[in-house]
Amino acid sequence: MKIEKVVVIGSGTMGQGIAQWFAQQNCQVQMVDQNYEFALKSLEKIKLSFSKLVDKGKFTESQTKVFGQNLSVKKLEDIDPLADLVIEAIIENLEVKKELFLTLDKLLSSSVIFASNTSSFSITQLAQAVSETRKNNFLGLHFFNPATIMKLVEVINGLETNPEISKKIIEWFNTRKKVACLCSDSPGFIVNRVARNFYGEALRAVETYSPEKFSEVDLVMKEVGGFKMGPFELMDLIGIDINLSVTESVYRSFYEEARFKPHRLQRDLVLAGRLGKKSGKGFYQYETK
Amino acid sequence: MKQNSQSVHNNIMVVALPDHPYYFELIKHFKVRTLDEAINSFDTYELVIDLSPLRTQKKFLFLKELAKTTKADIVSDLTLCWGEWIMKYSPQVKASVSTLFYSPNNAFEYSLRDELDSEMVKTISQFAQTMNQKMIQHKDLKLSFHYPRTIAMIINEAYFAVGEKLATAEDIDLAMKNGVNYPLGPIEWGQKIGLHNIAQLLEELSTITRDDRYKLSTELKLQAFKYL
């Protein structure tokens, strides 16, 4: 499979990381954001990241110069219609995503592979926005943050995805030090589903607000379970609101399956504005600058 | 009855079965007895370390029988039990441990009846050291120890996913290790712990709480069936 020209739509944390990773694979990457200035800032951040990688000895200056040249910022209407792959990494809003895919369907050649980095919507549902002939070329590519470091890419086949395409994409990623895992189009895919009870069961183990218990559970899961972070410190890092929203989405999608039921303690913290590290308080308290 | 010439702790009786993760270390250092041997023993001990893999009801009955044969303090493994209930109704149990589930970091949780019981901490610490394990305190044990209930739920979900053909078992393991840095994939983790142990714990939690969240995956049940 030839993937030389990639369009990444959305220049937030994920879009930026995905764009950077593809540039490091010597692909020509066009970055697009509905806010053009924001995309330019993301490009600057990537270039700053390149110089840090040179300082750390991960790449040479000449390598990162080439990576930088691989990146450009475009307006949506100016993207190359003959790109090989377009990856959507915008806000998790179904209608906004569908509208974007509808536009892209009109702008891009029929050979372009369409991918969504969504973590919460069905790929089959998103593919309804594109023309019938495009649906075979539509799949999920779910990257993990930070996309330049985390090796996993979940490759999701929608009901109408041509399995040959996902097979070839997996081969392409696997030759570039990513670990691409195939999964079917089911809520939470693999990771966001299987990991739910790392948090959910920990919340049931403590039941009520108790920093002493949060620390105890975190310590046990690190020291006994070998996890790098405990569930409460990880929820604080991810953002308790983000974590709750994923749980709620998986819970709803599974028609209120008890295994995924959100916990009131998490909801109460969100309602109190205690969102984790980013708000200075979550399960734990943090020093505010 | 096993006699062990290398035994260094003659005043301690350990109750364990051969599939306990520490078994080969245990027999080097302790008098290890089966459940039947333990309740029929006339020897005297200062301490009994019960590592039997029993669920609440059977554990209670076993501890009751054991208490008829010895006045020694008991440290009991409550991995598969409703911990708070056993501690309430089995007064000879002075501390509980959770050693039944394989730990990638060689560590186990323990909980004390009396949190100021420094002698008991010393005793458990010596046991941990002999087994080359670290120990982490779990205060005020309620339903279950933290690590086993959490890892059992993760593994159960992975088996639900395999059963629904969400992905292959191999891809599920790869995804969890490379997407969220798990030290082991849930499928391989389950094999190391023993699916029968996972199944027993979840069934116990389900029995006690009547909460559907602990419902066993059919795929896990199928794989663990030969042990049930």
Task: Quote the Cα angle for B140-B146-B152, to 5°.
Answer: 150
pLDDT at A287: 82
The shortest CB-CB distance from A202 to any of B150, B179, B186 is to: B150
pLDDT at A288: 66
pLDDT at A120: 83
- Cα–Cα dist B228/B159, whole Å: 17
Residue B55 to chain A, least CA–CA distance (Å): 19
Kindly give the confidence (pLDDT) of every residue in chain B, 228 residues in length, as a single tens digit, with 9 standing for 90 and above.
344 444 456 799 999 999 999 999 999 999 999 999 999 988 889 999 999 999 999 999 999 999 999 999 999 999 999 999 999 999 999 999 999 999 999 999 999 999 999 999 999 999 999 999 999 999 999 999 999 999 999 999 999 999 999 999 999 999 999 999 999 999 999 999 999 999 999 999 999 999 999 999 999 999 987 654
Give the amino acid at B51: L
On whether both A220 and A238 belong to a single domain, the answer is yes
Per-residue model confidence as pLDDT tens digits over A47-63: 999 999 999 999 999 99
The shortest CB-CB distance from B180 to any of A195, A219, A225 is to: A195
A154 counts as catalytic: yes
In a domain, B151, yes or no: yes
- Residue A176, SS3? coil
Per-residue model confidence as pLDDT tens digits over A80-111: 999 999 999 999 899 999 999 999 999 999 99
- Contact residues, chain A, for B186 at CB < 8 Å: 194
CATH of the domain at B219: 1.10.1040.50
The rounded radius of gyration (Å) of the Cα atoms in chain B is 18
Q: For residue A213, what is the nearest residue in chain B, using CA coordinates?
A: B139
Q: For residue A143, what is the nearest residue in chain B, using CA coordinates?
A: B179
In a domain, A287, yes or no: no
Does ipTM surpass 0.90 in this model? yes
Query: Containing domain of residue A163, as a range?
Result: 5-191
pLDDT at B4: 42
On whether both B155 and B51 belong to a single domain, the answer is no
On whether both B26 and B107 belong to a single domain, the answer is yes
Considering A148, A173, A191, which residue would you say is the last residue of a domain? A191
In a domain, B180, yes or no: yes
What distance separates the 2 farthest-apart alpha carbons in chain B?
Answer: 55
Beta-carbon contacts of residue B70 (< 8 Å; ≥ 6 apart): B13, B41, B44, B45, B48
Considering B79, B105, B137, which residue would you say is the last residue of a domain? B137
Residues A238-243 have a mean pLDDT of: 94
